[in-house]
Amino acid sequence: MEVEKIKGLKFHKKQDVAIVGAGMTTWKRRLNETGKELSYLAIKQALEEAGISFDEIEMVVMGSAPDTFDGLHMKGEYLLDGSGGSDRPYMRVFVGGGTGVFAPIAGYWHVASGLADVCLVVCEEKMSSSHPHPQSAFKYIWDPILERPLNPNLIWIFALEMRRYMHVHNIKHEDIALVSVKNKANALDHPCAQVAEKITVEDVLNSEPMALPVRRLDVSPPSDGAAALIMVAPHIARRLTDNPVWVTGVGWALDTTMWMNRDLYFPRYVAEAAKMAYRMAHITDPRKEIDVAEPYDPFDYKELHHMEGLGLAKKGEAPILTREGVTARDGDLPVCPSGGLLGVGNPIAATMGVKACEIYWQLAYRAGKRQVAKEVTTGVCQAWGDLMQVGTVMVMSNKR
């Protein structure tokens, strides 16, 4: 990926933005807790890690995906109390599945613009309340005239996309299944993981077919959970910690609604978002300069797809890197060391916990057993959502 160098004052911000604390709940089917309670648990953990009291939070950004999951209109308002937005400026941002990294991006501009010095970013998702399955909520994401009559579901379009990706680059399902094997194994070290297990490529290939080529173990599960991040201005960060993690670049892009008109083999929206973030972070060669990455992996092929979009691999090269072990936790470019969505779970917006939060933990050397083998300074996380449409990218560094 070619990233041009920026000149002049483009991306000139009022103040730098640091991350000083993160938290997340265990991801699983949590019928006993409401979304408000889940948010509270994540926030509490983040506040403890940051060593900051709740009163110091100036503004709150909420990230939560479709209202239909909860059967609520204005879900942001409903979640207000549990997510700490009460009696504060509180805003809910929403870009479908991309919200997991978009909410911290919104937190970034709250702080970078100088409007807030301490901003809490909370992401929450509760999919279990949707009956019979959260997939039914996705019935309403389609164009009502062109697509809804076909009664499509999400797995189908991913099957189309996966097939196209495999066809263009001549990739075998075995190579794609390796991602699932890697991520589910990585997740064994994650205390919040829902579907961590030691599996083999054969297990993936022999698992129940969903919509071929997609099989059961190619897919992440629906989960309930929450995650929180605390983003602060430099003068606050200095007070709280000796080694904060800085947000050095953010980017996001939304592609056309008409996904049928696009060649699905390459996520150009992720590439555009990544270019914006890299320009801002002064990264010209992502493959060399990024030490650890958390691309969005709701399906195993998606990790590869997004690695290519992020410029971490050339088009069609990501499966080769995976096969060679480059993306393993002790590899040269660890990808999804957390276990990702495939291993830890997929509570749509709350995936911030394994994306933005994980990169923060990795760069702050707080990832515990999940800490990657190599020395890290720069990391990138990415989320994706809507109708294969939106890419959200955030670059962080432990050097200012």
* Residues in touch with other proteins (CB under 8 A): 9-14, 65-68, 71-81, 85-96, 102, 106, 108-110, 112-115, 137-141, 143-144, 250-258, 268-269, 272-273, 276, 385-387, 389-390
Q: Kindly tell me which of 59 and 336 has the beta carbon lying closer to other proteins.
A: 59
Q: Kindly tell me which of 83 and 241 has the beta carbon lying closer to other proteins.
A: 83
CB of 171 to other proteins, least distance (A): 25
Q: Kindly tell me which of 11 and 156 has the beta carbon lying closer to other proteins.
A: 11
What is the 8-class DSSP label of residue 332? S
CB of 242 to other proteins, least distance (A): 25
| Integer Cα distance of 267 and 153 in angstroms | 20
CB of 59 to other proteins, least distance (A): 9
| Integer Cα distance of 362 and 370 in angstroms | 8
| Integer Cα distance of 112 and 348 in angstroms | 26
CB of 256 to other proteins, least distance (A): 5
CB of 247 to other proteins, least distance (A): 11
Q: Kindly tell me which of 14 and 238 has the beta carbon lying closer to other proteins.
A: 14
CB of 2 to other proteins, least distance (A): 17
Cβ count within 10 A of residue 32: 7
Nearest alpha-carbon partner for 129 in 85, 89, 174, 72? 72
- Quote the Cα angle for 72-78-84, to 5°: 150
Task: Check if the beta carbon of residue 316 is closer than 8 Å to that of residue 308.
Answer: yes
Q: Kindly tell me which of 48 and 81 has the beta carbon lying closer to other proteins.
A: 81
Task: Check if the beta carbon of residue 319 is closer than 8 Å to that of residue 176.
Answer: yes
Q: Kindly tell me which of 258 and 373 has the beta carbon lying closer to other proteins.
A: 258
CB of 179 to other proteins, least distance (A): 25
Q: Is 199 exposed, middle or buried (0-12, 13-18, 19+ CB in 10 A)?
A: middle
Q: Kindly tell me which of 108 and 361 has the beta carbon lying closer to other proteins.
A: 108
Cis peptide before 132 (omega within 30 of 0): yes
What is the 8-class DSSP label of residue 97? B
What is the 8-class DSSP label of residue 253? E
